Amino acid sequence: MERINNVTVFVFLGLSQNKEVQEVCFLVFSLFYTIILLGNLLIMLTVYVGNLYKSPMYFFLSYLSFVDICYSSVTAPKMIVDLLSKTKTISYVGCILQVFGVHFFGCTEIFILTVMAYDRYVAICKPLHYMTIMDRERCNKMLLGTWIGGFIHSIIQVALVVQLPFCGPNEIDHYFCDVHPVLKVACTDTYVVGVVVTANSGTIALGSFVILLFSYTVILISLRKQSAEGRRKALSTCGSHIAVVIIFFGPCTFMYMRPDITFSEDKMVAVFYTIVTPMLNPLIYTLRNAEVKNAMKKLWSRKVFWEVTGK
């Protein structure tokens, strides 16, 4: 079948058609996005200024914060602007770039969370060999692998979308371009593409989630052999990781571990993993981690010292 593409612009239906609701959402999500930027930038600055990046855990944490900023920036600014716009439009090319960005940074975040779980497993279950196993060269290779994995996944998603014909209508019942909502406006049967998309995204989400569950189960079992102080520190660190995993993977599983079917709740669920989770990550890691809090205090003290002395 010859590919027909008469659509150059897509129209988002957005989160709500109610003007008052849109104005409230504008204020709320503007605040959320500001917290995402400031919170994750603060963690990145704290890790590098406080020399915490020498530890593999904080090395990966700083990149998780970077990915959170990029991930939310793919959708949040456009959504915030659209909340005050009468017509919420995006070009075809812009839509494809959004699909790429959402899946690239989203998949990369999944892989970073998986690597962080492995890091905690080695630290708690093989403490004597930790620095040997998680040396800088290996950490760099693992980090590179997360980016390559995210890129391959997103390229597959984009390749499945760009080969589809779009001849109208051009209204997408969402606030950003994701694969399933875009498939709904293609003027051809997308059942096979939908199955491939679900298989691709579902394998990554489910596979990573199983690995994470297994890792943290082994960690929790091994904690029985630790001292009371060791258990407390390990549980504090792992508790924050587990909280992030549950908050992030819950909505992702709902969205991508099912057939090509859309629900009215999808938009609110998407808000949770594209905006709420990146906003909560800095709070979770800061409140549950004494080293990060101490490094932030030192960073703040240094800032105050500079302001007082002018140096």
Residue spans of the domains in the chain: they are 9-309
Tokens of 163: 């080969």
pTM of the full structure = 0.87
The pLDDT, as a whole number, for residue 222 is 78
Q: CB 153: neighbour CB atoms within 10 A?
A: 21
Domain at 9-309: CATH architecture = Up-down Bundle (1.20)
Measured between alpha carbons, how far is 173 from 268 in angstroms, rounded to an integer? 12
Buried b (16+ CB within 10 A) or exposed e, 60-74: bbbbbbbbbbbbbbb
pLDDT along the chain (311 residues), means of 10: 70 88 93 94 85 86 93 95 90 94 94 89 86 92 96 94 86 90 88 86 83 82 71 69 77 70 73 87 72 69 49 48
Tens digit of each residue's pLDDT (9 = 90 or more) over 253-275: 777 776 666 666 778 888 888 89
The pLDDT, as a whole number, for residue 66 is 95
The pLDDT, as a whole number, for residue 60 is 92
Q: Quick one: which of 233, 232, 231, 218 has its CA closest to 125? A: 218
Measured between alpha carbons, how far is 310 from 275 in angstroms, rounded to an integer? 38
The pLDDT, as a whole number, for residue 285 is 73
Measured between alpha carbons, how far is 256 from 160 in angstroms, rounded to an integer? 15
